[in-house]
Structure 1
Amino acid sequence: MTQAVATQRVVVGYKSNTQESHSDKAAAADASGKGEDVGQRLRFEQRTPTGEVVFDLGAEKPKAEVAKILAEFRSDPSVAFVEPEIIMTSLAAAADPNDTEYRKQWDLFETAGGMNVPGAWQKSTGKGVNVAVIDSGYVKHGDLGANVKGGYDFITSDTTARDGDGRDADPADEGTWGAAADCGTEKNVDSSWHGTHVAGSIAALTGNGKGIAGVAGNAEITPVRALGKCGSGSSFDIAIAMLWSAGIDIDGVPANPNPAEVVNLSLGGESNGCPVYYQRTIDRMVARGTTVVVAAGNSNVDVANATPANCNNVITVASNNREGGRAFYSNFGSKIDISAPGGETRRGTDAPGSITTPANGVLSTVNAGKTTPTGAETYAPMMGTSMAAPHIAGLAALLKSAKPGLTPAQIEETIKKNARDLPGSCTGGCGAGIADAARTIESLGTGTGTDPTTPSPRVFGSTSTLRIPDNAPAVTSTINVTGITGNAPANLKVSVDIDHQWRGDVVIDLVAPDGTVYHLKALASADSAANIKTTYTVDASAEKANGTWTLRLQDQARLITGTLSSWGLTF
């Protein structure tokens, strides 16, 4: 349960058997009544793609007032959860520009704190893999631009966005500068070009005789803008950006033509637990096959207090310094999965904001502008878990390119099993160690491309939500399968993600293209547990693989409705 913070918006998840869970009017009326009880005015703003309701408080309210609002909702048995909006910030500290020589990229090749990346390049360079960078957007850079494809701007606040037009198809970084008073800092903040720096670490052009090399120099980057003024952004905007990045349809936004296999989140906010709507968002992404890489945070505290690093089903990345120890600022703890080079342009004992050792930062692509972009592209060292995460996102792209059938869980496990111990000190927990790219890729035993003795599975899916009406005729969702030779396998995997507060009511059938019905789940009236999030195995070897497969769902009891969030077939 997330604690109260000063905020302007809250998100409420109503239980699925309530009118508020599907009626905007009912939700608005409920919030209005609760607002009156605590002396606040709550306005219905939007319903999230995962079904929760966002209420606006009219202005940022102090922590004490927000606590009363949260308590009012939590006292209502029809409310599953309520959580405040969290303002996320980029997790890096910018430094002065540095030279553009590859030899300065200690993070790629040095034996102490580096990640042994060059040894992986003979077997994989990330070709054919798309990495979405959800960050401050992208400013044009000649050492990166050829790998940048598409993108979108999800910032809804005009003040934060600076472009004045809400969500749009232009992910250009408008600059993150801000006055000290606006940003809550001692000094005015210059633009960091943070998203471009992160993208460069992942996929700067390699072998082009210019600048730096990316970890996965042939991967594609989709810039997704969610951080604006002062390097901050709404947790709600970011969650929606995450779904879109993974190829999940968002109302009012054009479909993502190039869904990401990997998503990098070099951002975070304080929270003593992963918000429910964030975990639901991540679970939907991972179910679709998207690997989610998250920076651990720069507060030198247990990562359990940082979101989305404290969520499940993500790869949480701590930062190591050039000597191979935990960077002084890096969060730590049992939720850390892996460490990667994040650098230290100063020590923890130096004055905050000072830059004493720029060569010990991570060098990457930026712009020379202090506020808005100029025509002068350049390079700069930064430090932070923001810099560590893209090293792992790049490594995930190398793995996915080398063996496309790898699942997010397999990618995480492969990276962790092939890590090496930190040669420097680590207090509090730094995960499996420092990632070793060459060792990780070598462990696949694939050479280049997919292992010919182990064909990669083909996954077909649907993320179109479908309401399952109460005690009513069956509803259906379809998937069109193409490009498979011969029959379906004897172990056809059928994954389903269904929200239902009394799952025993639901009957599930798979219908093959020729009309043959495979019964997956029968009526079980005594099964009162919630939700159906599982994978069934079907012997479909008698069926032609290609064609339209149908999932048929029927609620055969009274009182509770449900929703199909996604389903898929693995051949």
Structure 2
Amino acid sequence: MHPLTTLRLGALAAAMILPVHAADTQVLPTVAVKIRSAGMESDGKYDRFIVTYAPGSTPRANHTLVEQGVATAISRAHLDMRSAQSGSLASPPAARWQRKLAIGADLVRTPRKLSRDESLALMQQIASDASVVHVEPDVLLHAVADVKAPGTLPAGVATSTPDDPMYAQYQWHMHPGDGSATTVGADTAAYANKGGSDASAAWAMADGSGVVVAVLDTGITHHADLNLELAGDGYDFIDDALVSGRATDGRVPGGWDTGDWTTTDPWLSQCTDASNPPEASSWHGTHVSGTIAERSNNAVGMAGVAPGAKILPVRVLGHCGGYTSDIADAITWASGGHVDGVPDNTYPAQVISMSLGGSGVCDASDVTSTAIAGAIARGTAVVVAAGNSNDDAAGYSPASCPGAIAVASVGITGRRAFYSNFGSTVTVAAPGGGIYANDAASGSGSVNAGFVWSTLNSGTTVEDQAVYGGMAGTSQATPHVAGTVALMVGAVKDVGHAPLTPDQIRLALINSARAFPIAPDHPIGMGIVDASAAVQAAIASDTPIASVVLSNGVMVTGQVGKAGTSALYRLDVPAGARNLVFRTLGGTGDVSIYVKRGVPPTESGNNADFQSVKPGNNESVIQTLPAGGTWYVRVAGVKDYAGVSVSGSFTAN
């Protein structure tokens, strides 16, 4: 049973909506929310649960006590653990400890799959233990599996000018989005290219050499147009035998894609239904990897955004998807953290690209969010797909995880792709393909200009011939941004500047984004990624952001401003802090406040994570479990104001 609703246009993954902020003060509970139920389907079945115990608690260091605690919770929830197949009764009710995650949580498994209601009852009982700080089901996430263009292109293409012969013919998405008339592949109509990434203009300044990009996906296949130098150094993090396709449970070295087809049993019966029809192997990771770093100037095929970068393939998606627990460990490992039972990564990535997801809001205490926060703390930028369900990205994980760079999709005309998720959690848009002529929401058939073109494989189950093909979706938009980040990181290193932090990278992407040629019908970030401008912004990003630095709990008094103007303040919040509060009070006039982590809110506040817009000057935003990092608060004058006090405070762990 798939843990997310799926919209199929070929295979477009979908999710649910949840608003990012309300129109007034955000007041969260004063105690941690221990249970994550977001993303659980009403008819879902779950037998894997991730339990996080408090640091220093006895069960955290003793997996036998973890098993005993979950078994007690099963009993208290009055759950019958008899197997539907055997009719046998587990006595006492058993739970099997699977492993310790890198973030410190424990993965446990129940003797049978539980319904949603049973799972909630069990998690409530687990959470009643005072030593438990968080519990969530270990759900399967999926590739944001996008629409495939009809047919494929052979790998053996005669040399021509330019060096990469199919670059000029197909890769509109690497060209400048300057409105130049562009005819793609077999199309007869030309389109004004306003959605391109401008990667071609960036190559004169940087090519990503010396940068490692970890692609957490289905793995990678053999292809002459891909640099496979690190393929053997990657890792297959899929532990479950059903999902990996191996004979036994366990993780194995190498980032190779061995296929993810669901057209034969056991996957046909266990992973497919009316909403999720059987599918051939997607080779999704190979396509994404090519967009990031396909070789260039080799007289073959196409080109990637950062052709000098090295791809570190990490297999986290197989038959039926990929478990949250495996993905979280892979995020930690790819960014240079330690994972028990796996050799340490000798090529830590500066960038992680994840074109995958599932439904449900991602809170700071969630397993995926905790892993991403760890990667960011190690200096790794995390780029993720916004999702393909034409909904608010706030309802997706990891798209709504704090600190992740979420990417929406535009087509060749620069319009929001009709399927692309949107909302204030989106950082930037990038070319992902509009599928139909003029990026319309429907049509009599697809066009070549409606797709992103990259490396693929012809196999329907296992790997066969290396080919090229088109796909469309936020999965394809995401690697354009990941590749751009690789260019930025490499360029900054080349000029001898200090490495950029992930927050600086995000800000440079926002500041350099090209304005939308057509106002989007829904917000999809601050513009379309422009690789050339982003490289230049990265080189100049050592200029500090003009803002007033707040000290924890210290009130800044006597603030004055005019209607229509704003002032920016910042507060550095350590990881593990609680009860973050931003306030304005006193004085005369009327102000509103807009709050965002990582980058400043805009003057209008339309990208804010939280806001408070009551009449007068008494405004507040409260986050009980904030993500660590730099938080910005913009105080905007609704009317002239004077004598206003501004503060930011938190409780350190």
TM-score (norm 1): 0.75
Distance across 2 between alignment mates of 1:500 and 1:420: 36
What do the CA deviations read for 1:425-475 (whole angstroms, capped 9, x no partner)?
Answer: 5233101110111112223457xxx99x99xxxxxxxxxxxxxxxxxxxxx
Q: Which amino acid aligns with 2:259?
A: G
Residue 91 of structure 1 corresponds to 144
Report whether the alignment pairs 1:190 with 2:274: no
The counterpart of 2:167, out of the listed 99, 102, 114, is 102
Query: Per the alignment, do residues 76 and 170 of structure 1 end up closer, same or farther by CA in structure 2, a change over 3 Å counting?
Result: same
Q: Secondary structure at the match of 2:480?
A: helix
Using the alignment, how far apart are the partners of 2:389 and 2:348 within structure 1? Answer: 32
Q: 1:282 to 1:322 in 2, by over 3 A?
A: same
Q: After superposition, what is the alpha-carbon deviation per residue over 1:52-92, rounded to whole angstroms, capped at 9, x for unaligned?
A: 12121234322121121122223443321211112111113
Q: CA deviation at 1:310?
A: 0.6
Instruction: Show the counterpart of 2:183.
Output: none
* Partner residue in 1 for 2:371: 281
Aligned residue number for residue 18 of structure 1:
57
Structure 1 spans left out of the alignment, 5+ residues: 455-494, 502-528, 536-561, 564-571
Q: State the match for 2:323 in structure 1.
A: 234
Query: What corresponds to 1:152 in structure 2?
Result: 235
Alignment of 1:111-510 (within 5 A): 111=177, 112-146=194-228, 148-149=230-231, 150-165=233-248, 166-179=250-263, 181=269, 182-184=271-273, 185=275, 187-230=277-320, 232-274=321-363, 276-346=366-436, 350=442, 356-374=446-464, 376-404=465-493, 405-444=499-538
**Per-residue deviation, 1:95:** 2.7
TM superposition shift of 1:424: 3.1
Q: Do the aligned residues in 2 keep the contact of 1:113 with 1:324 (CA within 8 Å)?
A: yes
Q: How far is the alpha carbon of 1:186 from its aligned partner?
A: 5.6
Aligned length: 463
Partner SS state of residue 253, structure 2: coil
Structure 1 CA distance for aligned equivalents of residues 376 and 577 of structure 2: 20
Calculate percent identity across the aligned residue pairs: 35
Deviation at 1:345, TM superposition (A): 2.6
Task: Read off the aligned partner of 2:137 and give its amino acid letter.
Answer: P
Aligned to 2:70: 31
Tell me the distance in 1 between the aligned counterparts of 2:330 and 2:625. Answer: 27
- Contact conserved, 1:98 with 1:358, CA < 8 A, in 2? no
Match of 1:151, as an amino acid? G
Amino acid at match of 1:174: T
CA shift in 2, pair 1:345/1:496, >3 Å:
closer
Q: Structure 1 496/339 Cα, relative in aligned 2: closer, same or farther at 3 Å? A: closer
1:497, distance to aligned residue in structure 2 (A): 7.5
Alpha-carbon separation, structure 2, partners of 1:236 and 1:245: 14
- Cα distance in structure 2, aligned partners of 1:363 and 1:530: 41
* Residues 1:157 and 1:125: Cα distance change in structure 2 (over 3 Å): same
Deviation of residue 21 (structure 1)? 2.7
Is the 8 Å Cα contact of residues 95 and 355 (structure 1) preserved in structure 2? Answer: no
Name the counterpart of 1:554: none
Determine the C-alpha separation between the residues in 2 that align with 1:131 and 1:344. 26
- Alpha carbons of structure 1 residues 500 and 302: separation in structure 2 relative to 1, 3 Å: closer
Structure 1 stretches of 4+ moved >6 Å: 495-501, 529-535
Q: Distance in 1 between matches of 2:115 and 2:372?
A: 29
Deviations 1:190-232 (A, max 9, x none): 11100010000000001111111100000000000010014x1
CA drift of 1:530 comes to 10
- Report the Cα distance in structure 2 between the residues aligned to 1:429 and 1:73, rounded to whole angstroms: 39
Counterpart residue number, 2:581: none
**CA–CA distance in structure 2, aligned partners of residues 63 and 348 of structure 1:** 38
Distance 1:355 1:34, change over 3 A: farther
Query: Closer, same or farther in 2 for the Cα pair 1:90/1:530, shift >3 Å?
Result: closer
CA distance in 2: counterparts of 1:498 and 1:116, whole angstroms: 36
2:37 matched to which residue of 1? 2
2:176–2:199 contact (8 Å) kept in structure 1? no
Say if 1:147 and 1:205, in contact at 8 Å, map to a contact too: no
Amino acid at match of 1:155: I
For the residue of structure 1 that corresponds to 2:280, the secondary structure is: coil
SS of residue paired to 1:414: helix
Q: What is the one-letter code of the residue matched to 1:170?
A: G
Residue 47 to residue 187, structure 1, CA distance change in 2 (3 Å): closer
**Residue type of the alignment partner of 1:134:** L
CA 1:271–1:127 in 2, change beyond 3 Å: closer, same or farther?
same
Q: 1:399 to 1:436 in 2, by over 3 A?
A: same
SS at the partner of 1:292? Answer: strand
Residues 374-401 of structure 1 show CA distances to partners (whole Å, capped at 9, x for unaligned) of 1x21001001111011000000000000
C-alpha contact (below 8 Å) 1:154/1:226 kept by paired residues: yes
Which range moves more in the overlay, 309-318 or 110-119?
A: 110-119
SS at match of 1:18: coil
Q: Structure 1 531/267 Cα, relative in aligned 2: closer, same or farther at 3 Å?
A: closer
Alpha-carbon distance between aligned partners in 2 of 1:371 and 1:170, rounded to the nearest angstrom: 19
Q: Would the aligned equivalents of 2:195 and 2:413 in 1 still touch at CA under 8 Å?
A: yes
Partner Cα separation in structure 2 for residue 427 and residue 97 of structure 1: 32
Contact 2:69–2:126 (8 Å) recurs in 1: no
In the superposition, the TM-score normalised over structure 2's length comes to: 0.66
Paired AA for residue 287 in structure 1: A
Superposition deviation, residue 163 in structure 1: 2.8
Q: What amino acid sits opposite 2:108 in the alignment?
A: F
Deviation at 1:177, TM superposition (A): 1.1
How far apart, in 1, do the equivalents of 2:576 and 2:524 lie? 35
3-state SS, counterpart of residue 101 of structure 1: helix
Query: What do the CA deviations read for 1:300-357 (whole angstroms, capped 9, x no partner)?
Result: 1111110011101111101111111111111111100000011133477549xx9622
| Matched residue type, 1:423 | P
Give the match for residue 71 of structure 1: 124
Describe the superposition over 1:16-46 as per-residue Cα deviations: whole angstroms up to 9, x where unpaired.
Answer: 3532233222222111100112215432222
Q: Distance in 1 between matches of 2:445 and 2:118?
A: 40
Which structure 2 residues correspond to residues 34-73 of structure 1 after superposition, within 5 A?
A: 34-38=73-77, 39=79, 40=81, 41-73=94-126
**Cα 1:444–1:291, aligned 2, differ >3 Å: closer, same or farther?**
closer
Q: Is the 8 A contact 2:418 2:441 kept in 1?
A: no
Amino acid at match of 1:424: I
User: Hey, what's the Cα distance between the residues in 1 that align with 2:104 and 2:70?
Assistant: 16
- Judge conservation of contact 1:338–1:416 (CA < 8 Å) in 2: yes
The alpha-carbon deviation at position 115 of structure 1 amounts to 0.9
Residues 1:500 and 1:309: Cα distance change in structure 2 (over 3 Å): closer
* Structure 2 letter corresponding to 1:389: T
**Structure 2 unaligned residues grouped into runs of 5+:** 1-35, 82-93, 154-164, 178-193, 494-498, 545-571, 579-623, 631-651
Contact 1:345 1:356 in 2 (8 A): yes
Q: Per the alignment, in what secondary structure is the counterpart of residue 443 of structure 1?
A: helix
- Partner deviation per Cα, 1:487-509 (whole Å, 9 max, x = no partner): xxxxxxxx9978699xxxxxxxx
| Offset, 1:147 | 5.4
Matching residue's letter, 2:295: L
For the Cα contact (< 8 Å) 2:352–2:382, is it kept in 1? yes
Write the letter of the residue equivalent to 1:321.
G
Assess if the C-alpha contact under 8 Å between 1:174 and 1:373 holds in 2.
Answer: yes
